[in-house]
Chain A
Amino acid sequence: MPARRQFLSIAAVGAGAFWVSPQMALANVATERRFVFVIQRGAADGLDIVRPYGDPAYAALRGALADKPGDAIRLDGLFALHPSLVEFGRMCRKREALFVHAVASPYRDRSHFDGQNVLETGGLHPYQVSDGWLNRLATLLPKTRDEAIAIADTVPLALRGRAPVTSYAPSGLPLASDDLMTRVATLYDADPQLHPLWSEAVQATTLAGHGSTRQDPASLGGLAASFLVQENGPRIAMVETGGWDTHVAQASRLAAALKALDTMMAALRDGLGPVWMQTTVLVATEFGRTAAVNGTGGTDHGTGTVAMLAGGAVCGGRVIADWPGLGAGQLYENRDLRPTASLDALIAGVAAESLGLDPGRVARTLFAAAAPGRPITGLVRA
């Protein structure tokens, strides 16, 4: 679509300061590192994703969901990986993936929506903080690198805030004419809300080029990669995933959701090529699920869960856990995995090390309200 692309760069120059020419961007490159946050909306069951098969209480609690011999991918004497996560298993053997277990955000009730709000804002309580930690992270990067992208129709809360952010998702609609595009740009120019949105939209379309129009996991991973590999493209990205709220028939549903995640991750890794070595992907959810299986072959809302880390720079090949145990008296409120690690401290440490920033400064900027304590470091190579 050469005509469209040419128009876009002209319109971009005319519309204002958002367009950064490639040369300028290259001159100011301070980081070549990439950071991707994958959110699992709906409370993913950490006990089924990284299964503590070696815990004496595990089999009885999990019933039909319990790991069977030969089923999962053994990680060590205590933990095994869900059989759907083939690519994660492969990355773990190559020491490019690791898992942090019994982790939780500061949120301790069991509402998805409040839990996601805390996870995405970095607050201590829901609705205490109005912008997202990933956006605040973007403000810590040098000026030419402060853009981030959501691979979604709209911008998720974690990315909302002061730093300019764009969103992109494949659309099946025909492209608008250049004439209309120009007039819309003129009309929005004086509108404080619409002008920045329009500028970002035009820029994202340019970055995507011909782009993918498919929304399957492999295409999504490839699409995210196509943005991140560009020299003047975003350094921070967020991908939203769903299907984790497995109240019923968890065995088949979670297998499908994990397969999609695994496929998306593999496509992202493959699409990034050599850039994978400079990339860190963090996968996290708002909270875990009940330790015991419920009456309908699923699990209900819980507390502690697992977070996953993958990327060429990750010091992987291990499960990090101060394991609280699943036995009587060891569960949180007698029903959930007890959290022994702070998800906020993990995010602060990983984000800082991934982008070459000071962990203390990152923790203060991202989680001032929650004050999670010392960032967890040593997980990503400098």
Chain B
Amino acid sequence: MIPAVTPLSPVAIALNRFGLGVRAEEDLPGDARRWLLEQFDSFDTRPAAFAALADAGAIVQHYRVLQRKLRQAAHAKIDDESAELKAARQAFSQATQALYRDAVQARAQSALATSAPFVERMVHFWSNHFCVSADSPEIAAYAGAFERDAIRPHVLGRFSDMLLAAEQHPAMLTYLNQITSVGPDSVEAARAQQRQPGRRLGLNENLGRQIMELHTLGVRSGYSQDDVTEFARALTGWNVDGLGGGHAQEGDADRFAFRPSQHEPGMRTIMHRTYGQDGEAQAGTVLLDFARSPHTATDIATKLARHFAGDTPPPRLVARLAAAFSGTGGHLPSLYRTLILSPEPWAPRPLKFKTPWEWTISTLRGLGQKDPGHLQVARVQAQLGQPVWKPGSPAGWDDVAASWAAPDALLRRVEFAQRLAATYGDRIDARTAGTRILPASLSIATAEQVRRSESPTSALALLLVSPDFLRR
């Protein structure tokens, strides 16, 4: 039996589907579409909490130096030294975790305080598209800096600029093993062979493959294994300034560096196009071609349509977004404008089941929080099944209901809602909060159950896990 459904108002759609949820005491916008478009002018690229994060590169650098010393000590069987170094490494490992937690707090803080929630949502979208998964100490340290430095500055810019910034960021180069990939016929490979005959340095094709498959063209778009390998050759030499042996460790591990000695000599042929030997620019030129490909336009358009117009994206919207992407050379504000002015994302029924992140942020906004306070957001997201920046795979988190609407995940939301309601239940009246956070669209059944609840705490928790609030 399908319950009596109250159609969603355009303002509710703008706030909840395009934005990150209503913030308790803010005025509701008048014109839904204009409210979204005006956010392009008020987005804060580098919020204070992000800017204040500790230096990730320095932490990673220290961690790696310790790792190396530890290996040497173990090799030389110096036990005393090993114990000391292990303790130091442990300290740095904790430092990376602390930085990760701070960065997650900064992300939540920005999402709660922002006056441009739609643009902030797009940051989360792109950060997931160019995903680095913080499964190692290095990536845990870098993850916040990646979103701040590679994604945020370009969210209202061009796709190709964001692409280049993402692929050249130390987080990505480390995560997808690019920093260890060396051209088999490069100067460095020859040197290594000379120093230690039999030792062969070579390619790692991980970054090349994931750029083609996940970041640009999309899988099954016609490239071959040879194209992947050729692209991996073109990418050799792309590295991180302060990482690596010898003099490299004195550099700045927050910066990209091109190492000509690691670069594979020669021209490259990728998808029937030949690229001259331009060193660093060789792979950069390939990236620009990928960014311009109609496959990339369709891939991005499909993902964007799925995020706003439902798990099965309407083909006409996909076509319109792909045309806007190609027609403007990947100008992202133009792409967003096309999305906002299209009819499909404004369907007056819930189209998406909120991810744990979306649900948490909209909950906190609904409770009037401008910052996460003492709430450990990283921990909460892990408990709810979506640890921030840790999808465990370069494909990022899924954007369909089947991935999130699961029995155990639902139970956890109820448990968490109760915990929050215990704190806020005596301050917030769920009956009035309901009509505020779901303006002109709260269902009759939910309003009824909330009204009948025995305690204010129970009423508030119920509102937060109501079918209306679990979806956008």
Binding site for B on A (CB under 8 A): 41-42, 63, 109-114, 126, 152-155, 160, 166-169, 171-177, 179-181, 183-184, 186-188, 190-194, 197-198, 200-202, 204-205, 242, 247-248, 294-296, 298, 300-301, 333, 335
Contacts and interface: CB of A to CB of B under 8 A. Distances in A.
B213 A167 contact: no
Contacts of B196: none
Contacts of A296: 177, 180-181, 202, 204
A153 B386 CA distance: 9
Interface in B357-412: 383, 385, 392-393, 395, 401-412
A301 B406 contact: no
B418 interface: yes
Q: Name which of A126, A152, A197 has the most chain B CB atoms within 10 A of its CB.
A: A197
A335 B392 CA distance: 27
Given A111-B213, A295-B181, A190 B1 contact: yes
A195 B209 CA distance: 41
Interface string B178-218: 00111010000000000000001111111001000100000
Given A114-B220, A154-B409, A160-B402, A194 B383 contact: no
A166 B407 CA distance: 6
B415 A173 contact: yes
Given A191-B3, A248-B177, A295-B202, A183 B458 contact: yes
B416 interface: yes
A179 B410 CA distance: 17
A152 B201 CA distance: 39
Kindly list the 6 A-B residue pairs having the minimum CB-CB distance in the complex, ordered from nearest: A295-B202, A201-B407, A153-B385, A154-B406, A200-B407, A296-B180
Centre residue among B182, B454, B466 by max chain A CB count within 10 A? B466
A180 B418 contact: yes
A173 B412 contact: yes
B3 A190 contact: yes
A160 B402 CA distance: 8
Given A184-B465, A190-B2, A247-B204, A153 B419 contact: no
A112 B458 contact: no
A177 B425 CA distance: 14
A132 to B, nearest CB: 11
21 contacts: A109-B219, A110-B225, A166-B408, A172-B383, A173-B415, A173-B416, A174-B418, A177-B418, A184-B414, A190-B445, A192-B1, A192-B2, A193-B405, A197-B410, A198-B410, A248-B180, A248-B204, A295-B181, A295-B182, A295-B184, A295-B202
Interface in B453-472: 453-455, 458, 461-462, 465-467, 470
Given A176-B415, A183-B458, A295-B200, 13 more contacts: A110-B209, A112-B393, A113-B213, A126-B219, A126-B220, A154-B408, A193-B405, A198-B410, A204-B408, A247-B204, A248-B177, A295-B202, A298-B204
Contact of B225 (A63, A175, A333): A333
A109 B405 CA distance: 30
Nearest to A240: B392
B404 A186 contact: no
Counting contact residues on chain B (CB < 8 A from A), the size range is 35 or more
Contacts of B415: 171, 173-176
Contacts of B213: 111, 113
A294 B408 contact: no
Given A190-B445, A198-B410, A300-B206, A154 B404 contact: yes
B42 interface: no
B219 A113 contact: yes
B154 to A, nearest CB: 25
Given A295-B202, A296-B202, A191 B408 contact: no
B406 A111 contact: no
Contacts of B449: 183, 186-187
A180 B467 contact: no
Contact of A181 (B3, B414, B470): B414
A175 B461 CA distance: 13
B128 interface: no
A171 B204 contact: no
A332 to B, nearest CB: 11
A198 B407 contact: yes
A153 B177 CA distance: 29
A28 to B, nearest CB: 23
A191 B1 CA distance: 7
A328 B411 CA distance: 55
B418 A300 contact: no
Contacts of A301: 209
B462 A187 contact: yes
Contact of B462 (A113, A180, A204, A300): A180
Contacts of B466: 187
B205 to A, nearest CB: 5
Contacts of A173: 383, 412, 415-416, 419
A295 B204 contact: yes
A126 to B, nearest CB: 7
A187 B446 contact: yes
Contacts of B184: 295
A60 B442 CA distance: 68
A329 to B, nearest CB: 18
Interface string B1-28: 1110000000000000000000000000
Nearest to B471: A193
A247 B205 CA distance: 9
Interface in B81-130: none
A110 to B, nearest CB: 7
Determine which residue in B182, B407, B461 has the highest number of CB atoms from chain A within 10 A of its CB, and name it.
B407
Given A154-B408, A176-B418, A295-B204, A194 B467 contact: yes
Contacts of A298: 177, 204
Contacts of A183: 449, 453, 458, 462
A111 B458 contact: no
Given A112-B393, A154-B385, A295-B184, A247 B206 contact: yes
Contacts of A191: 3, 467
Interface string B222-240: 0001001000000000000
A295 B201 contact: yes
A301 B207 CA distance: 12
A166 B454 CA distance: 30
Contact of A169 (B201, B202, B408): B408
B3 A155 contact: no
B207 to A, nearest CB: 10
Contact of B414 (A63, A176, A295): A176
B124 to A, nearest CB: 19
A134 to B, nearest CB: 15
B220 A197 contact: no
